[in-house]
Amino acid sequence: MMKKIFTVLFGSLFLTSVLVAGCGREEAKPVAIAAGVDKCDVCNMLVPDDHNATETILKNGKVLKFDDIGCQNAWSTKNGKDQIQARFVRDFNSKEWIKLENATFAYDKDFKTAMAYGVLSFKDKAAAQKYIDEQKKGKLLTPADLETHSWERNMEMMKQMKQQPNMQQNAH
């Protein structure tokens, strides 16, 4: 009788611990961009609430915000991916947040982005291809392709953007 009680008790404790462990951490979610306040964690420029904004959620809950997916990549390259819980990009058309690994990307050196990396995010391949077709330039990239992408900035575009009167000024 005692053995049966012990087995039931042990089984209940084991099941409870498995359930609690499975519910440990909530799924990471992106947070709203505070335009005019939030600064990019790489280049320190203001992060506009637009289709170029990206976020990285660390395992400790800290949210890193970036004004361009190129800055997000620069942070990951420098700091590694071990502490990353999730990465989010925004759909070019709707500004809807999507997990980086679920997005499709369009790249051309002349696609205008905040820091002139030329990579735009789309929630699906069809939308990315449509954009490329409309622009008559560019190529599709998958999340895996981003790992080997050259991440070169269009310095001529950067120079032109800096000459615009409303260009955000670096805080340093």
pLDDT of 39 higher than 90: yes
Q: What is the pLDDT of residue 104?
A: 98
User: What are the strands of the beta sheet with 97-99, ordered from one edge?
Assistant: 63-66, 54-58, 84-90, 97-99
- Average pLDDT rounded to a whole number, residues 24-39: 89
pLDDT of 87 higher than 60: yes
pTM: 0.81
DSSP lists the bridge partners of residue 57 as 63, 86
Backbone angles phi, psi at 118, to 5 degrees: 75, 15
Contact residues for 33 (Cβ-Cβ < 8 A; gap 6+):
47, 48, 49, 53, 65
pLDDT of 19 higher than 60: no
Q: What is the pLDDT of residue 20?
A: 38
Burial class for 105, CB neighbours closer than 10 Å (0-12, 13-18, 19+):
buried
pLDDT of 168 higher than 50: no
- pLDDT band (50, 70, 90) for residue 166: low
